[in-house]
Amino acid sequence: MKKNIWQFATLVMVLSMLLTACGQPAAAPVEEPAAAPVEEEAAPAEEPAMVKEGYDMVFLPKFMGNMVFDQAFAGAKEAHDELGDTGKLEFLGPTADQSVAGQIEIVTSATSRGVDAIMISNNAGDQIVPVAVAARDAGIVVTTWDSPIPSAEGEQVFVAQVDFDETGVVMADMALEILGEAGGQMAVLSASPDAANQNAWIAAMQEALKDPKYAKIELVDVVYGNDISEDSYNQALALVAKYPDLGLIMAPTTIGITSAAKAMTDEGLCDKVKISGLGLPAEMVEFTLSGCAPKFALWSFVDLGYLSYYLTYRIASGEIKGVEGETFEAGRMGTYTIEKDPTRDVGLRILMGPFSVYDATNVEE
Ligand code: RAM
pLDDT tens-digit readout, 75-133: 999 999 999 999 999 999 999 999 999 999 999 999 999 999 999 999 999 999 999 99
Nearest residue (CA) to ligand 1, atom 7: 254
Pairing of β 117-120 and β 141-145:
parallel
**15: confidence class by pLDDT, cuts 50, 70, 90:** very low
Domains 57-162+301-358 and 164-298 in one fold: yes
Partners of 335 in the beta sheet? Answer: 329
**Per-residue confidence band for 24, with pLDDT thresholds at 50, 70 and 90:** very low
pLDDT at 3 over 90: no
Q: What confidence score (pLDDT) does residue 7 get?
A: 53
> Are the beta carbons of 235 and 189 closer than 8 angstroms?
yes
- Give the pLDDT confidence score for residue 328 in this predicted structure: 98
> Percent of the chain scored above 90 by pLDDT?
85
Side chain identity at residue 236, one-letter code? A
Q: Is 249 in the pocket of ligand 1 (CB under 6 A)?
A: no
Could you tell me the pLDDT band of residue 9, with boundaries at 50, 70 and 90?
Answer: very low
Q: How far apart are the first and last CA of the chain?
A: 111
Residues 36-60: what's their mean pLDDT?
63
Assign domain 57-162+301-358 one CATH number from 1.10.150.120, 3.20.20.80, 3.40.50.2300, 3.40.50.11540.
3.40.50.2300
Mean pLDDT of 18-40: 39
Question: Which of 16-20, 112-116, 208-212 is predicted least confidently?
Answer: 16-20
Q: What is the pLDDT of residue 295?
A: 98
Helices 164-179/196-208 angle, 10° precision: 60
250 lines ligand 1 (CB under 6 A): no
CA of 253 to the centre of ligand 1 (A): 5
pLDDT confidence of residue 323: 98
Mean pLDDT computed over every residue of the chain: 90
CA dihedral 286, 292, 297, 300 (to 10 degrees): -20
Q: Which of 197, 259, 301 has most ligand 1 atoms within 8 Å of CB, for mutation? A: 197
Q: Is the pLDDT at 159 greater than 70, yes or no?
A: yes
pLDDT > 60? residue 32: no
Q: Which residue has the higher pLDDT, 99 or 1?
A: 99
Q: What is the C-alpha to C-alpha distance for residues 123 and 195, in angstroms, rounded to an integer?
A: 5
Give me ligand 1 centre to Cα 356, in Å: 15
Cis previous bond, 29, omega within 30: no
Q: Per-residue pLDDT tens for 258-284?
A: 999 999 999 999 999 999 999 999 999
Least confident of 9-18, 127-136, 241-250, 356-365: 9-18
Write down the domain spans for the chain. 57-162+301-358, 164-298
Instruction: Give the C-alpha separation, 129 to 164, whole Å.
Output: 21
**289 near 358, Cβ under 8 Å?**
no
Ligand 1 touching residue 159 (CB < 6 A): no
Q: Which of the residue ranges 44-58, 209-223, 304-318 would you say has the lowest mean pLDDT?
A: 44-58
For residue 171, the CA-to-ligand 1 centroid distance in Å is 14
Q: What is the pLDDT of residue 42?
A: 46
The architecture CATH gives domain 164-298 = 3-Layer(aba) Sandwich (3.40)
Q: Whose CA is nearest to atom 6 of ligand 1?
A: 253
**Phi, psi at residue 309, to the nearest 5°?**
-65, -45
Helix/strand/coil for 204:
helix
Q: Distance (Å, rounded) from C-alpha 298 to C-alpha 354?
A: 9
Sign of the dihedral defined by the CA atoms of residues 183, 184, 189, 195, in that order: positive
pLDDT at 19 over 70: no
Q: What is the pLDDT of residue 37?
A: 42
**Dist CA 240 CA 155 (whole Å):** 39
36 CA → ligand 1 middle, Å: 52
| Ligand 1 and 227: CB distance under 6 A | yes
User: Which 8-state DSSP code applies to residue 146?
Assistant: S
Please work out, in degrees rounded to the nearest 5, the angle formed at the alpha carbon of residue 270 by the alpha carbons of 175 and 282.
75
Mean pLDDT computed over 240-264 = 98
Across 22-36, 140-154, 187-201, 292-306, least confident range: 22-36
Q: Is 147 in the pocket of ligand 1 (CB under 6 A)?
A: yes
- Atom 5 of ligand 1, residue of closest alpha carbon: 253
CA 132 to CA 138: how far, in whole Å? 10
Contact 183, 306 (CB under 8 A): no
In this model, does residue 234 exceed pLDDT 70?
yes
> Using 50, 70 and 90 to split pLDDT, how confident is the model at 53?
confident
Q: How confident is the model at residue 312 (pLDDT cuts 50, 70, 90)?
A: very high
